[in-house]
Structure 1
């Protein structure tokens, strides 16, 4: 019996991949993109000056977001089963949901970011987190590897 692909996890994977692409755009197009996406004036200036730090931090985020996208695709049964799939999807959903809801507490740590940035990015994170959470819940019974029986 062919199991259906999980649409919530596929949409979550697309969301993570789009976020990765937006971060790649910041690296490629520099300060104006960092400003537009709300990374703060300091990051934008460092990028314009050719400093390594913005590209390094942003590259790490790209790798993480792409990995999260792969985990969602694995949970959706689009690609091969990845290790620790259940745990990975739960952690990813939790991080997205926490980031989406806890922005009020972390806003003070990044005073250069606008309120618009916090509202939009938190809404996006909350939405992607819900896609991961709902998709993981729906796919839970299929997220483990079947033990191979030796008869």
Structure 2
């Protein structure tokens, strides 16, 4: 599960960078066109820099997922970071669904993004729980 979550995050990171080729269209499709236009009024490079920063964050999330699944070298603070990533995704998914339903502003695209965030959050949460439950169980039996 952590491996799948890791690879999904890396794909999301790559999509952000590749999407910069057609940035305005990508911003429009993802529903942040207005916000990015306003940000560009401050400085034209800010939407691009913000997108690259977000891509880096997704990439790091991906590396942590792969690290926790032993597909990449062990990264620092692995256990708390995995559960923090799970929490971020779950909060984003549930939070957006609740706010949109409460305000009556839910769109199909936003609902899909929220469900996707929930799925990734569940992958990290269950993957982390399985990993550290098994690790704890193995450490107990080996001593």
Q: Could you state the TM-score of these two structures normalised by the residue count of structure 2?
A: 0.80
The structure where helix makes up a greater share of residues is 2
1:96 aligns with 2:89: yes
Distance 1:101 1:114 in 2: 12
Distance 1:95 1:63 in 2: 16
Deviates more, 1:134-143 or 1:68-77: 134-143
Q: Secondary structure at 1:30's aligned position in 2?
A: helix
1:139 aligns with 2:139: no
Aligned to 1:115: 107
Are residues 56 and 106 of structure 1, via their aligned partners in 2, closer, same or farther at CA, if it must alter by over 3 Å? farther
Q: Could you state the TM-score of these two structures normalised by the residue count of structure 1?
A: 0.76
Structure 1: segments with no counterpart, 5+ residues: 1-7, 108-112, 147-151
Deviates more, 1:17-26 or 1:65-74: 17-26
Structure 2: segments with no counterpart, 5+ residues: none
**Aligned with residue 129 of structure 1, among 106, 116, 121:** 121
Are residues 43 and 26 of structure 1, via their aligned partners in 2, closer, same or farther at CA, if it must alter by over 3 Å? farther
